[in-house]
Amino acid sequence: MFENISLAFQGIWSHKMRSFLTMLGIIIGIGSIISIVSTIKGTNEQIKQNLIGSGTNAVKVELYQGDNTFDTEYNAIPEGVNPISQDTLDEITALDEVAEASLYTERTYAEYVYHQNQNFTGTIRGIDEHYFNVYGYYIQMGRGFTEDDFSQIRKVAIVDRTAMSSLFEGENPLGKTIEIKSEPYTIIGITEQSMEFEPVINDPSDYAIYNQSSNGVVFVPDTTWPLVAQFDEPQKVALKAASTDDMTNAGKKTADLLTATLQADSSMNLSYRSQDLLEQAKRLQDLSSSTNQQLIWIASISLLVGGIGVMNIMLVSVTERTREIGLKKAIGARKSRILFQFLTEAAVLTSLGGLLGVGAGIVMAKVISGMSGAPMAIDVGATVIAVAFSVLIGVVFGLLPAIKASNLNPIEALRRE
């Protein structure tokens, strides 16, 4: 085997240009496939990141009426929809797929928040002590909410940097007062998410949703929320899934638990649902992958062309080395030895082409990543399969020339000029 490999390298080196041109089809085919697979993987990661966000594995569960979220800002709270109890929250937290759970309420267009004459049109949320952990917020300046803030119903607030810029125009807000529904709240902290994330905006509705949240967020203890809303209302649940892959199950199981607690009239068509971003990501990934699969088949044509080129050059090699084959058979070389020698040479030729193709594919993937902005993601499994497939091409397309060489009559071979 090692002798055959050595002879194969000698043959390739003695005809460097011819060997390279023979490998070119394999290089192009493998390179194209590697770059396409890497682009698919990178695009899928980008889709997942665009929808799921900063990697907090957070899932939102809220009340729906039919196919739309129940808007508590404009609709009266129906009978039978009660605040989520501590027992229910404990059940949710006990789910294997859930690492942590938080209850909160919000207004997404809070025009009643003021600092002096400065109006705020972002989001205001009444949160519990778990919310910041679930969504990956940390306190950048000042302090967070304490147990006393909740238990003593203190009118304190934390703002993100966008809300700070909107309300205080660059001034340090710590210790200053804002008005929420004419109630004074003292700013005690400034918060940021541990990883910033901006979604891809594809249409005007996406922009409207993003524009609301981009105006900033003001956080208050949920125990002071009745001062903002003037009545109890259905809370939303924020879940931190144990892993990204658990997001769908965590959301579905939580929604089922909450729906079971509803005592409202069935004609209201009320239920809790999760915002299944992971499922949306998978649908988009499947669409992207199915489109790119066609490109892989097109790229595979160049592998077929490369294989035919290998067969052609090996037939030429058999013709050129007829006397060498005849001499080997005359001194006792078996048909199987001649067969394996030429099969090895074809396999070495295509495996070298496969390795060069992998390198070319990585370079192409990097160029595509730089041009498109999608992350570069090399699939190691696809790389190994591509090299193995290139060796298989050498064996398959080298078989005919190898059989022809092994079947040569030694006497006729030695006579041939």
Q: Is the overall model pTM greater than 0.85, yes or no?
A: no
What are the two backbone dihedrals, phi and then psi, of residue 155, each rounded to the nearest 5 degrees?
Answer: -90, 80
Q: In this prediction, what percent of the chain has a pLDDT beyond 90?
A: 22
Over 80: is that where the pLDDT of 414 sits? no
Domain closes at, from 185, 216, 244: 244
| pLDDT at 21 (0 to 100) | 81
- Is 116 inside any structural domain? yes
Overall average pLDDT of the 18-30 stretch: 81
- Is 177 inside any structural domain? yes
- Is 257 inside any structural domain? no
Q: Regarding beta strands 156-160 and 183-193, do their DSSP bridges make them parallel or antiparallel, or are they unpaired? A: parallel
Torsion of CA 307, 312, 316, 322, to 10 degrees: 70
- Is 265 inside any structural domain? no
User: Domain check: are 310 and 399 in the same one?
Assistant: yes
| pLDDT at 354 (0 to 100) | 84
Tens digits of residue pLDDT in 200-223: 444 444 434 444 456 789 999 999
Overall average pLDDT of the 363-386 stretch: 76
User: Domain check: are 90 and 224 in the same one?
Assistant: yes
Domain closes at, from 244, 271, 302: 244
User: Domain check: are 291 and 366 in the same one?
Assistant: yes
| pLDDT at 289 (0 to 100) | 61
| pLDDT at 212 (0 to 100) | 43
User: Domain check: are 178 and 304 in the same one?
Assistant: no
Do the Cβ atoms of 345 and 4 come closer than 8 Å?
yes
User: Domain check: are 358 and 292 in the same one?
Assistant: yes
User: Domain check: are 358 and 290 in the same one?
Assistant: yes
- Is 261 inside any structural domain? no
Mean residue pLDDT of the chain comes to 79
User: Domain check: are 392 and 327 in the same one?
Assistant: yes
Say which range, 102-116, 122-136, 287-301, has the weakest mean pLDDT: 287-301
User: Domain check: are 170 and 93 in the same one?
Assistant: yes
CA distances from 19 to 264, 313, 322 (A): 77, 8, 19
User: Domain check: are 181 and 296 in the same one?
Assistant: no
In which domain, by residue range, is 328 found? 2-50+283-415
Do the Cβ atoms of 47 and 285 come closer than 8 Å?
yes
Which tops the pLDDT comparison, 288 or 261? 261
Domain closes at, from 214, 244, 274: 244
| CA–CA separation, 305 and 397 (whole Å) | 11
User: Domain check: are 26 and 96 in the same one?
Assistant: no
- Is 121 inside any structural domain? yes
| pLDDT at 403 (0 to 100) | 79
| pLDDT at 374 (0 to 100) | 65
271 strand-pairing partners? 64
Tens digits of residue pLDDT in 48-77: 565 555 556 888 898 888 888 887 766 677
**For the chain, how many structural domains are there in total?**
2
| CA–CA separation, 69 and 38 (whole Å) | 38
User: Domain check: are 20 and 106 in the same one?
Assistant: no
User: Domain check: are 161 and 301 in the same one?
Assistant: no
Tens digits of residue pLDDT in 111-150: 788 888 888 888 899 999 999 999 889 999 999 999 999 9
Over 60: is that where the pLDDT of 399 sits? yes
At 50, which amino acid appears? N
| pLDDT at 313 (0 to 100) | 78
Over 80: is that where the pLDDT of 292 sits? no
- Is 330 inside any structural domain? yes
